[in-house]
Amino acid sequence: MQPLAHAELIRQAALALGFARVGFTPVGPVERHRVYQEWLERGYAGDMAYLARDAAVRRDPAALLATAKTLVTVALSYAHADPIDVPADRLAGGPRGTIARYARGADYHHVLKEKLRSLARTLGESIGGAVAFLPCVDTAPLLEREAAQAGGIGFIAKNTMLIAPGAGSYVLLGELLVDVECEPGVSLEPRCGQCRACLDACPTGAFVDAYTLDARRCISYLTIELTGPIPRELRALVGDRVFGCDVCQEVCPFNASASDGARELAPRAGYGRPALRRLLGLGAAQFRKWNKQSALRRVHRAQLLRNVAVALGNVGTGEDLPALARALDEPHALIRSHAAWAIGEIGRRGATEARALLQKRVTIETDSMVLEDLALALR
């Protein structure tokens, strides 16, 4: 079977599995690895040390599978309509937070890997022989957006997301390394033109310029990757977002008609616009149940409650102070410090009882970070 036939066989099998797009690139050094290295050297990765640690491996996919000849890239759509979440429990009142679209359903890592394994099995059965393969998702050290662009799936946009024309940027990428030769795809050139909607809409001004993101200011980084305190000067800009951010995608014209998301990634009830008070009251066991089999497992409980406290500080009212007061008694200083900040913000908007809560905590607090947030909030 010839490379063109291999590619067509894989393409048809991938589409049958629900993938929106398929691309093919010969395995070899990645031309744009230099751009990635320069981005790291400028410090834009923030605390994501793992990106620098495996930077050399990302230069060539062959480092992951020595016998690989083709890197198959697939795109799975998660473009589903915003759900109307109406939890029935008594804590469902009050303001709601926002979770990024990709994390509202089942854990895409599991979904993608199972589909990629099925794709490899189909390939082996069709050519009548054993196929060496390696399925990869975003946890693997691959420059997947570069591969997807080179393979013809889409183009890298000004917001650094991959846009697949006709499917938009609400797609998750997966890769399958195989020791089978496939006809390469045709690389797509950027089609953003003069549009800069994504750059101008970013709440925190995270884009240094077109095609360059400073992750240290990105809300997705701040709410997911960053394990320490969110910089005070950025907290008010986070808004009600408690896990990730979709703003630069929401304003993109290529996403205006994006639809037909994979059914496996359909939003679960209560995960699009969750009640913030309810989230802030999650105990350890409840938290594990809440994020089970979900991409939300990327954050630990202290991170989530930190994010929820910030969201309440931005959109909450005096009615949310009791929940935040309970958070001031949390064992983790990260939660207490952000709860103090939130109480101060709500007090600044006119909730007079906020001051008494802060003053009470000052008398028993011992952590320097929390004491600093308490002092700033009291001002």
Question: Where in the sequence numbering do the catalytic residues fall?
Answer: 138
Measured over the CA atoms of residue 254, residue 255, residue 256 and residue 262, the dihedral's sign is positive
Question: What gap in Å lies between CA 39 and CA 265, rounded to an integer?
Answer: 31
Of 281, 288, 284, 276, the residue nearest 314 (C-alpha): 276
Supply angle C-alpha 368, 48, 35, rounded to 5. Answer: 140
Hey, which bits of the chain come out as E strands? 21-26, 70-77, 98-99, 133-136, 155-156, 162-163, 171-178, 207-209, 212-213, 241-243
Contacts of 297 (CB under 8 A, 6+ apart): 107, 291
Tell me the CA end-to-end span of the chain in Å, nearest whole number. 74
63: three-class secondary structure by DSSP: helix
Question: What gap in Å lies between CA 259 and CA 48, rounded to an integer?
Answer: 32
Of 19, 39, 226, 235, the residue nearest 112 (C-alpha): 19
Please give the backbone phi and psi of residue 76, each rounded to the nearest 5 degrees, phi first: -115, 125
Strands 241-243 and 98-99: parallel
Strand partners, 172: 76
76: three-class secondary structure by DSSP: strand
Q: At what angle do helices 3-16 and 108-127 cross, to 10 degrees?
A: 140
Place of tokens 């939890």: 87
Of 364, 362, 366, the residue nearest 376 (C-alpha): 362
In the DSSP assignment, the letter for residue 364 is T
In the DSSP assignment, the letter for residue 352 is T
